[in-house]
Amino acid sequence: MKSVVGFPRIGPQRELKNYVEGYLEGKVKKEELEKAARDLRKYHWLLQKEYGIDLIPSNDFSFYDHFLDHAVMLGAVPAAYRILEDEIDCYLALAKGYQRDGIDLKALPMKKWFFTNYHYLVPTLTADTEFKLSSDKPFTEFKEAWHEGIKTKPVLLGALTFLKLARKTGVDIYNKHFWEKMLEVYIEILCHFNTAGADFVQIDEPVLVMDLEERDRRFLKEFYGALLKNKGKTRVILQTYFGDIRDVYQEIVSLDFDALGLDLVDGKLNLELISQYGFPEDKLLLAGIVNGRNVFRNNYQTSIDILQKLAHYVDKGRIVLSTSCSLLLVPYSLKYENELDEKVVPYLAFAEEKLQELSEIEEIFLSGDFSKHSFYLKNAELWNLVATDQSGEKEKEEENEYIRVPAWEERIKVQKEALQLPFLPTTTIGSFPQTPDVRAMRGRFKRGEVTKEEYESFIKAKIERVIKFQEEIGLDVLVHGEYERNDMVEFFGENLEGFVITKNGWVQSYGTRCVKPPIIFYDIKRKKKLTVDYIKYAQSLTSKPVKGILTGPVTILNWSFVREDMPPDRVAMQLAQVIKEEVLDLEKEGIKIIQIDEAALLEKLPLRKSEHKTYFDWAIKAFKAVCAGVKPQTQIHTHMCYSNFDDYLDEIARMDVDVITFEAAKSDFTLLDGIRESSLQAEVGPGIFDVHSPRIVPVEEMEKLITRMLEKIEKDRLWINPDCGLKTRKEEEVFPTLKNMVVAAREIRKKF
Ligand code: MET
Ligand SMILES: [Zn+2]
């Protein structure tokens, strides 16, 4: 048998994005939106059926985010949003905020989903949370598929993952009084599926691969012990992914689940757990061997090895071949890539190709002598990969090559002297709205419809306009707007050697925002300057400092697909070298402030604490390698967003930057207390408005925020800026807010 944990849902050409955004803008009718969603689901189910997948997921679809779907289904959303009676409107208000007819609702905060670049919306659980089955989405989708002749495996988010990943104020999630009602909802759902005739239900508990405590184990036993009494004829799969379940393996196998899904790609230790503790004879084992979060072909030899080892402990007939996690994290299909480097294509597998891999591996596994199987032979041939320099240059490095001199206290004085900025300097994070004309022009340039010169003068005109705007509203540190960049990582991928860029390799990042992660396939080199010309041009237009914006090495690495045989620390160091060359070139051209974005520094932080140190050591070293050679008066900024930096401020301090801006607008500034208590010395710019909401923020509101920030951070250490880049916003939404931001900063300055 073959199982898929989850399938991408945005549509092969990001269709869903256009429908949802169209609906929000009033251009698409609700019926059209719903029909588009039904069509996509149908397409996904039939495709999986075509490849012979036995356990096809449903309820893995989402208009915006599956975590939000789950919160809504459990009734775990603030009552204020229920003022919007329409289900979709209420849902989208939670996702995007809602400002109309005197109603002003903020969007829920977002956080990164484990170590991926997918962001989920974070509901808050309070003493007022009343769990109650509040949506029939999973049932509707099950029926819909049944109508197509497919009996799906509905997917539900697990209780512990939901509780641990939600925000809590004033509640103890382990207290039975708190979760009892939620259990009732899960029971109701399970009973419903039992009645509807579902053979399988999949409960996702990725949180089980993290460090767990006794109370987590107790919760699992109590909660699932009670829930599973109600499963009737439906077989319940406990699905885990992103690692191994060493802290709960024994508890889990002793529970009455019918199947256990284990990740054998990121969770190599799972195999050892099985060999050490055995695997119960009454359960199916869903063996996650096809990597759901990378785009490279499976190495059949490796997979067959794993399966053969498993077969010592589990009958072949009870082993179900599976993806290691949801395919949500990879693009749809290679069939839309007609311009890819031919040498690279055979090494790639997107979601659709992964379905095929499952079929092929199953065939090989079940055939007697696999080593003669044609699928096996063809795959084995591939793995004589093109060589890279990854082993070079190593170990010669001296730690002090990465230390910036003089120390921060000295540098910051020199910089303040050189820059002459007012206190509470105002700035932005780099990108300005990518208006339709910018996107259209880029498209035309890429299709060869306009010349390089025409394209460049278009971008320059944009830069001129945005510099003017920033001067007019009185920002202190300006940016060039990043108009030349489709995406902060893809742009670098396109312009550096070593990357492969897809045409259509879209992956959902959050809601309707999709990214096209570049693929790192060869050694990385910089053959030309990447950003210098435009930034230099921007600086030539103004006497105010223009901040040069670059993407940092760790973020480029983490937002690319990297060949599995390339050690990430080596790739990071190669990237650091090329970004450093760019930094030095910017400095040479008189750029006084350089921001090296590390939005994704924490993203690939291992889920287990015991592995953190190794990760931070090489990641921070790569970052420092970029900055080590710059002059003391050149101010180095970094920007981070949407991750739990609160817990890692001392590590972030080791990056030794001069200024750090970060996303905090949606998280009530709890971070500021942490900053005060941490070893971080840098000046800080906690974003004062949420760039993902179209809401225009009034001056007074921002004044209040600044005042609150000043209670926690000294006035000479505080910067005023939005919480992230403005690329995805509309000018008419964001220009007034920026203007208000500058006014608010000025008003506060007057009070000193
Ligand atoms: C996701 S972080 C974005 C940083 C980038 N400089 C921008 O402004 O868009
Ligand atoms: Zn950001």
For residue 430, the ligand 1 atom closest to its alpha carbon is 8
Measured CA to CA, the distance from residue 59 to residue 69 in angstroms comes to 9
Average pLDDT over residues 527-539: 97
Please indicate, yes or no, whether residues 280 and 348 belong to a single structural domain of this protein.
yes
- Beta-bridge partners for 203: 156, 238
Q: Does some domain include residue 98?
A: no
Please indicate, yes or no, whether residues 375 and 460 belong to a single structural domain of this protein.
no
The answer to whether the annotation marks 725 as part of a ligand binding site is no
The answer to whether the bond into 406 is cis (omega within 30° of 0) is yes
List of residues 6+ apart from 41 with CB closer than 8 A: 9, 58, 61, 141, 144, 145
Please indicate, yes or no, whether residues 295 and 423 belong to a single structural domain of this protein.
no
Q: Does some domain include residue 103?
A: no
In the reported structure, the alpha carbon of residue 637 is separated from the centroid of ligand 2 by a whole-number distance in angstroms of 13
Catalytic residues: 692
Is the predicted pLDDT of residue 4 greater than 70, yes or no?
A: yes
For the chain, what is the largest distance between any 2 Cα atoms, rounded to a whole number of angstroms?
A: 82
> Which pLDDT belongs to residue 665?
55
Please indicate, yes or no, whether residues 684 and 581 belong to a single structural domain of this protein.
yes
Torsion of CA 601, 603, 604, 610, to 10 degrees: 90
For residue 431, the ligand 1 atom closest to its alpha carbon is 8
Is the predicted pLDDT of residue 371 greater than 90, yes or no?
A: no
Out of 488, 489, 530, 645, give the residue to mutate to test ligand 1, the one with the largest number of ligand atoms within 8 Å of its CB.
Answer: 488
> Which pLDDT belongs to residue 574?
96
Average pLDDT over residues 549-553: 98
Decide: 327 and 292 in contact? Cβ < 8 Å: yes
Supply φ then ψ for residue 313, to 5 degrees: -115, -20
Average pLDDT over residues 126-151: 96
Please indicate, yes or no, whether residues 433 and 374 belong to a single structural domain of this protein.
no
Decide: 60 and 140 in contact? Cβ < 8 Å: no
Out of 597, 601, 729, give the residue to mutate to test ligand 1, the one with the largest number of ligand atoms within 8 Å of its CB.
Answer: 597
Please indicate, yes or no, whether residues 426 and 523 belong to a single structural domain of this protein.
yes
Other beta carbons less than 10 A from residue 298's beta carbon:
21
Please indicate, yes or no, whether residues 607 and 689 belong to a single structural domain of this protein.
yes
Please indicate, yes or no, whether residues 365 and 469 belong to a single structural domain of this protein.
no
Average pLDDT over residues 229-245: 98
At 667, the pLDDT band (50, 70, 90 cuts) reads low
Please indicate, yes or no, whether residues 620 and 542 belong to a single structural domain of this protein.
yes
Q: Does some domain include residue 399?
A: no
Decide: 469 and 541 in contact? Cβ < 8 Å: no
Going from the C-alpha of 666 to that of each of 104, 689, 706, 743, the distances in angstroms are 15, 8, 14, 21
> Which pLDDT belongs to residue 388?
64
Please indicate, yes or no, whether residues 378 and 428 belong to a single structural domain of this protein.
no
Q: Does some domain include residue 104?
A: no
Q: Does some domain include residue 297?
A: yes
At 392, the pLDDT band (50, 70, 90 cuts) reads very low
Decide: 44 and 326 in contact? Cβ < 8 Å: no
Tens digit of each residue's pLDDT (9 = 90 or more) over 307-340: 999 999 999 999 999 999 999 999 999 999 999 9
Residue 466: Cβ-neighbour burial (10 angstroms; 0-12, 13-18, 19+): buried
Please indicate, yes or no, whether residues 421 and 489 belong to a single structural domain of this protein.
yes
Average pLDDT over residues 15-43: 97
> Which pLDDT belongs to residue 397?
57
Measured CA to CA, the distance from residue 41 to residue 46 in angstroms comes to 9
Whose CA is closest to atom 1 on ligand 1?
599
> Which pLDDT belongs to residue 198?
98
At 385, the pLDDT band (50, 70, 90 cuts) reads low
Decide: 252 and 220 in contact? Cβ < 8 Å: yes
The answer to whether the annotation marks 639 as part of a ligand binding site is yes
Tens digit of each residue's pLDDT (9 = 90 or more) over 67-110: 999 999 999 999 899 888 889 999 999 999 998 888 889 999 88
Q: Does some domain include residue 505?
A: yes
Which amino acids bring their CB within 6 angstroms of ligand 1?
429-431, 482, 488, 549, 597, 599, 639, 641, 724-725, 727
- Ligand closest to Cα of 429 equals 1
Q: What percent of the chain is modeled with pLDDT above 90?
A: 89
Measured CA to CA, the distance from residue 556 to residue 189 in angstroms comes to 42
Structural domain containing residue 628: 405-750
- Ligand closest to Cα of 551 equals 1
Q: Please tell me the pTM assigned to this model.
A: 0.91
Please indicate, yes or no, whether residues 448 and 331 belong to a single structural domain of this protein.
no
Measured CA to CA, the distance from residue 619 to residue 607 in angstroms comes to 15
Q: Does some domain include residue 96?
A: no
Tens digit of each residue's pLDDT (9 = 90 or more) over 344-361: 999 999 999 999 999 999
Is the predicted pLDDT of residue 386 greater than 90, yes or no?
A: no
Q: What percent of the chain is modeled with pLDDT above 70?
A: 97
Tens digit of each residue's pLDDT (9 = 90 or more) over 587-628: 999 999 999 999 999 989 999 999 999 999 999 999 999 999
Going by C-alpha positions, the residue among 79, 82, 37, 81 that lies closest to residue 61 is: 37
In the reported structure, the alpha carbon of residue 661 is separated from the centroid of ligand 2 by a whole-number distance in angstroms of 9
Decide: 726 and 431 in contact? Cβ < 8 Å: yes
Tens digit of each residue's pLDDT (9 = 90 or more) over 191-219: 999 999 999 999 999 999 999 999 999 99
The CATH number of residue 486's host domain is 3.20.20.210
Last residue of a domain, one of 316, 347, 382: 382
Going from the C-alpha of 518 to that of each of 7, 17, 323, 366, 563, the distances in angstroms are 21, 20, 22, 36, 11
Average pLDDT over residues 471-486: 97
Q: Does some domain include residue 293?
A: yes
For residue 727, the ligand 1 atom closest to its alpha carbon is 9
What is the domain count for the chain?
Answer: 2
Is the predicted pLDDT of residue 54 greater than 70, yes or no?
A: yes
Going by C-alpha positions, the residue among 648, 722, 713 that lies closest to residue 682 is: 713
Last residue of a domain, one of 382, 414, 429: 382
What is the full DSSP assignment across 494-548? HHSEEEE--SS--EEEETTEEE---EEEEEEE--S-SSHHHHHHHHHT-SSPBEE
Decide: 435 and 731 in contact? Cβ < 8 Å: yes
- DSSP H stretches of helix in 350-488: 351-366, 374-382, 408-419, 436-446, 452-473
In the reported structure, the alpha carbon of residue 100 is separated from the centroid of ligand 2 by a whole-number distance in angstroms of 27
For residue 640, the ligand 1 atom closest to its alpha carbon is 2
The answer to whether the annotation marks 663 as part of a ligand binding site is yes
Mean of per-residue pLDDT scores for the chain: 94
Out of 117, 428, 429, give the residue to mutate to test ligand 1, the one with the largest number of ligand atoms within 8 Å of its CB.
Answer: 429
Average pLDDT over residues 542-547: 98
Is the predicted pLDDT of residue 401 greater than 80, yes or no?
A: no
At 749, the pLDDT band (50, 70, 90 cuts) reads very high
List of residues 6+ apart from 601 with CB closer than 8 A: 552, 554, 555, 558, 619, 623, 640, 643, 652
> Which pLDDT belongs to residue 494?
94
The answer to whether the annotation marks 431 as part of a ligand binding site is yes
